[in-house]
Amino acid sequence: MKKVFKWIGIVLGSLVGLILLAVLGLFAAGSSRLDKTYDFPPSGIVVPTDAASLERGRHLTNMMCTGCHGSDLGGVEKWFADDALGRVDAPNLTSGLGGEGAEFRIR
């Protein structure tokens, strides 16, 4: 009877070990894909600076962004707050200190 339990233990231990190796392998493969970065050459996008383009950008910003992020796009704390559902803050979109736009500043 001891031999049967010994073999059952060996088989179960081997299965657990194989499953653990498979999980670790899949985790490593997924992590390497998620951490992969790509370098793209500059595409030569020209940002228009004429008055009509600037006014169109101002219009689109006022229409779509200022409702959540504030009139200066500096963010709004407790933009949505409900005890049952949670709290949502609208982030700072500016390129200033703490702003999301600082990362995407045109150089």
Helix (H) or strand (E) holding 79: strand 76-82
> What value does the CA radius of gyration of the chain take, rounded to a whole number of Å?
27
Q: What are the tens digits of pLDDT across the range 87-107?
A: 888 888 888 787 887 777 665
Alpha helix locations (H) across the chain? Answer: 2-34, 51-64, 66-69
pLDDT number for residue 37: 85
pTM (2 decimals)?
Answer: 0.49
CB of 68 within 8 A of CB of 90?
A: yes
Q: Where are the domains of the chain?
A: 1-37, 51-104
In degrees rounded to 5, what are phi and psi of residue 65? -110, -40
pLDDT number for residue 99: 81
Q: What are the tens digits of pLDDT across the range 3-56?
A: 888 999 999 999 999 999 999 999 999 998 888 888 888 778 888 999 999 999
Alpha helix locations (H) across 35-86? Answer: 51-64, 66-69
